[in-house]
Amino acid sequence: MNDIISGLRVAAATMAICVAGYTTVILTFAQVVTPATANGSLISRQDGSVIGSRLIAQAFTSPEYVWPRPSAVGYDAGGAGGSNLSSANPQLADRAEALIEAHGGVSRADPIPADLVTASGAGLDPHVSVEGAMFQAGRVAQARGVEPAAITAIIDRLAERPGGFLTDEQIVNVLELNLALDAELSVQAVAD
């Protein structure tokens, strides 16, 4: 019985300090020091409406945009998840085949970058590899009626090494890349 009373007291104390106190401190710090990222790294339009989060992939299907990696949850940022398919599951191959076709088909000699046919863990990976972006440069350039070099120049500019010198692979944020494309290159009306 003593243990129960004592336990309840300790439970109350730890809940007050470790939950209420701790959350308040971190919340205050975050909202004061880094309000932008603390609220989800949102990107808004001039009118204040939210375009999305720079950390969250959103669907792009139009040819004039660089497409992100596939998402097992349809880019649902309210119910994220991966495919969880085993790496040998034939469904992965089926999906990849469909994606390869959507990307316009490829040859063995010039294979599609793996990230464009694999879903990320949360289905919300905001990045593609630079190879993955470059791979799409031709389609985007055609859709926008510009030389592919104009696209690759922007990709190169936005490319980053996520871990600096610690990582070899270069990646690029898809939403930021597409925003830059929109800002710098107009979409040419494509004659049917």
Partner 1 sequence: MEHVIIVALILGGTTLLSLPLGAWMKLAMDPSSGRMSRWTGLFARIGGTAEEQGWKGYLVTMLTFNAIMFTVVFLILALQHYLPLNPDGMGAHDPTLVFNTAASFTTNTNLQHYSGEASMSYLSQLAGLMWLQFVSAATGIAALAALARGIAGRPSLGNFMVDVQRASLLVLLPLAVVVAVLMVLGGMPMTLQGSAVATTLEGVTQTIARGPVAAFLTIKQLGTNGGGFFGPNATHPLENPTFWTNGLAMIAIMLIPMACVWMFGGILGRMKHAAVIFSVMTVFILVKITGSVVFESAPTPAFAELPVSTDAGNLEGKELRFGATGGPLWAVLTTSTSNGSVGAMHDSLNPLTGLMPMAGMWLNATFGGVGVGMINMFLYIVVAVFVAGMMVGRTPEYLGHRIEAKEVRLAILALFSHAFLILGGTALFAATSLGQSTVQDPGAHGFSEILYEFTSAAANNGSGFEGLGDGTAAWNIATGIVMLIGRFLPIILPLAIIGSLMAKRRAAESAGTLGVEDATFGTMLGLTVVVFGALTFLPAAALGPLAEHFSLP
Q: Does 63 bind partner 1 (CB under 8 A)?
A: no
Determine the 3-state secondary structure of 77 from DSSP: coil
| Smallest distance from partner 1 to CB 20, Å | 8
Residue 3 in contact with partner 1, rule: CB under 8 A: yes
Segment 143 to 172, residues that bind partner 1, using CB under 8 A: 162-164, 166-169, 171
Counting residues that bind partner 1 (by CB under 8 A) gives: 104
Q: Does 120 bind partner 1 (CB under 8 A)?
A: yes
Say whether 56 sits in a helix, a strand or coil. Answer: coil
C-beta of 33 vs 189, nearer to partner 1: 33
In the list 46, 71, 122, 138, the residue contacting partner 1 (rule: CB under 8 A) is 122
Tell me which DSSP letter residue 163 carries: T
Amino acid in the structure at residue 20: A
CB atoms inside a 10 Å sphere around CB 68? 28
Q: Is 184 in the site for partner 1 (CB under 8 A)?
A: no
CB proximity list for 162: less than 8 A, separation 6 or greater = 127, 169, 171
